[in-house]
Amino acid sequence: MKKFNQLVAVATVALLQACTSTQNLDAAIGNIVIAEPQAVNYKSEIAIARYTEVIQRAELTDVQKAELYYDRGVIYDNVGLRNLARHDFTRALRLKSDLVDAYNFLGIYFTQMQEFDQAYEQFDSVIDLAPEHEYAYLNRGIALYYGGRPELAAEDLTVFFNKQANDPYRVLWLYLAEREANPELALANLKERAELVDERIWAKQIIQLYLGELSQEKFMAQLTTNVSSNKALTDRLCEAYFYLGKLAQDKAQSQAAMNFFKLALTTNVYEFVEHRYAKLELELLRQTGKSAL
């Protein structure tokens, strides 16, 4: 009888622990906002088919064909078919070597593949051809950041920031680069630059989160505020989860960072900078052995 009572007690404790674990899991899941992933727009599929037909059947000059390859590449990129997009951008440049934006896209792809020297070359080509192409400075800055050259990254990202100092995303990327070189100075600069960002812009909350002025719980609780469509929600979640991942990474919370980057990828917002580099962040975490998954 005594043994039976002991077994009952053990079973009760196990059941209570299981219930508690389930409750904790439910609570954790309840705090995560998940949107239906963006689906491929049927208009994009039709456009790809039409471009392909024109390229294959029409009599075109090299310049015309280059522009069609570029336009189809942009659509491929928007739907996440980046290998096909890269192939089209490469073919476009063979036919017309001054397609600035094709170089820009290729630089992004080389960054994602961690082929940084080739990425720098592509962005240098953009800046040589079009010195005022501000997004080349953003993208080269990001390439330098991931390539382990934060001081040079900060220089490029400062140029990008100065073009529109009230843009919260320009503020954030400059902070990320500066943080690698001097965390204390970067935080002070972030606080100063935050004053330039309008309170009505949603992404201001990301800056407040990084400054410690907004808790992560409150930040996540407000993710759906003033969101009226699934498209708007996926856009916001892609950004939010990426920057939450970067914040977790800074706190040496590698598994949490990995989970946030995965959540950013589930949105399928392929054209966003945050989606483009969430995959790279995951690869870098795996390479450094900071996560087994």
Same domain, 205 and 165: yes
pLDDT at 31: 67
pTM score: 0.86
Domain that holds residue 293: 233-293
Same domain, 162 and 196: yes
Same domain, 204 and 138: yes
Mean pLDDT of 36-50: 86
Same domain, 129 and 67: no
Is the pLDDT at 21 greater than 60, yes or no?
no
Instruction: Write out the two tokens for 170.
Output: 């320009």
For residues 258 and 261, what is the distance between their CA atoms, to the nearest angstrom?
5
pLDDT digits (tens, 9 = 90+) for 46-94: 999 999 999 999 899 999 999 999 999 999 999 999 999 999 999 999 9
In a domain, 82, yes or no: yes
Same domain, 263 and 180: no
For residues 82 and 86, what is the distance between their CA atoms, to the nearest angstrom?
6
In a domain, 156, yes or no: yes
Same domain, 92 and 124: no
pLDDT digits (tens, 9 = 90+) for 181-235: 999 999 999 999 999 999 999 999 999 999 999 999 999 999 999 898 999 999 9
Same domain, 67 and 132: no
Compute the Cα dihedral for 224, 227, 231, 237 and give only its sign. negative
In a domain, 114, yes or no: no
Mean pLDDT of 171-190: 97
Instruction: Write out the two tokens for 264.
Output: 């950013």
pLDDT at 28: 39
For residues 82 and 13, what is the distance between their CA atoms, to the nearest angstrom?
52
**CATH number of the domain residue 69 falls in:** 1.25.40
In a domain, 245, yes or no: yes
- Chain-centroid distance of CA 259 in Å reads 14
Is the pLDDT at 24 greater than 80, yes or no?
no
Same domain, 196 and 142: yes
Same domain, 136 and 198: yes
Same domain, 88 and 133: no
Domain count, the chain: 3
For residues 208 and 248, what is the distance between their CA atoms, to the nearest angstrom?
15
Same domain, 258 and 204: no
- Rg over alpha carbons for the chain, rounded to the nearest Å, is 23
In a domain, 72, yes or no: yes
In a domain, 162, yes or no: yes
In a domain, 53, yes or no: yes
In a domain, 16, yes or no: no
Do residues 179 and 189 make contact, with C-beta atoms less than 8 angstroms apart? no
**CATH number of the domain residue 169 falls in:** 1.25.40.10
Same domain, 53 and 89: yes
Average pLDDT, the chain: 89
